[in-house]
Amino acid sequence: MFLLARTHTRYTATALHFFASLSVFALLLGTALLFWYPTPYFSASGGWQGIRLVAAVDLVLGPLLTLVLYDPKKSRRELLMDIGVVVLIQSGALLWGIKAVYEQRPVVVVFLDTSFYTVPAVALQSQGVDLQQLDAFGLQRPVVVFADRPNSGPGVQEYLRLAEVEQIPPHEQFGLYAPLSEHFSRVIRSAVDAQEIMANNADMKLQIERVLEQEASEITEYYFLPLTSRYRNIVLMFDHQGALIAMISAPFKSGNV
């Protein structure tokens, strides 16, 4: 192990540990951005907040412990024991952080009442739902679905039990999910005025104009639907056939930057 060279000073060993940790963090960040939290869900659904926690563990805790414990005057055996303790502590904390980030990745975007909502993987897995069951609605992640509150029939009791006893909100109840295409005519009733969005937010206007240019289309060819998420909201652009064309990031919610 490169940290065991007794020719290193305390600060050299710390710097080497930091750059090794930085490589691991860069790999994790790339994985999160490409596979777990595709844009703009990384900032909307807590990916950034989770990654900051992992960064604190990986880039601060490990190197700091090396700075405290490393002493070139120690024997190779003592250095091996010290570095082993550091790696053990850092690895345990890092794995916990990665697990938390992975479990919070959005796997479903569900329309309920008047808005879309993101659903993290852990919300379904805690109910015993196999995430492969989402393949019935599409193979992309997060998959876009529709949900409706039952008001009659046998499903009402289960819906109420989950909501009131299990404290599972309706948009996280897998049993309520249905293909979006079958209910798109109801969804578009909640469409928002794109012209008003563009008039009130210059950044969102720029995003919309960029999509229109790329698609070589007019704004009237799309429906704009709100998505309510934890840290920042999103506006989803659908064409008139119900295909999701683009996602427009709204400003961060107050206090969540």
Residue pLDDT, tens place only, 32-61: 888 888 878 887 766 777 788 788 878 888
C-beta of residue 109 within 8 angstroms of C-beta of residue 145: yes
Same structural domain for residues 199 and 171? no
Domain end, chosen from 126, 149, 184, is at 184
Q: Residue 70, SS3?
A: coil
Distance CA 152, CA 139 (A): 31
Residue 233's closest CA among 199, 209, 197, 206? 197
Q: Which of 184, 208, 226 is the last residue of a domain?
A: 184
Evaluate whether residue 257 is within a structural domain: no
Tens-of-pLDDT digits for all 257 residues of the chain? Answer: 445 555 567 888 888 888 888 898 889 888 888 888 887 888 776 677 778 878 887 888 888 888 888 887 888 888 888 888 888 888 888 888 888 889 989 999 999 999 999 999 999 999 999 999 999 999 888 999 999 998 877 789 889 999 999 999 999 999 999 999 999 999 999 999 999 999 999 999 999 999 999 999 999 999 999 998 877 788 999 999 999 999 998 876 544 44
The answer to whether the CB of 163 falls within 8 A of the CB of 113 is: no
In a shared domain, residues 204 and 113: no
Query: Is residue 88 domain-resident?
Result: yes
Looking at the structure of the chain, the number of domains it has is: 3
Q: Could you tell me if residue 13 is inside a domain?
A: yes
* Tens-digit pLDDT profile for residues 146-173: 999 988 777 898 899 999 999 999 999 9
Does the residue 198 lie in any domain? Answer: yes
Q: In degrees rounded to 5, what are phi and psi of residue 203?
A: -70, -45
Q: Which of 51, 70, 103 marks a domain boundary? A: 103
Whole-structure pTM value: 0.82
177 and 199 assigned to the same domain:
no
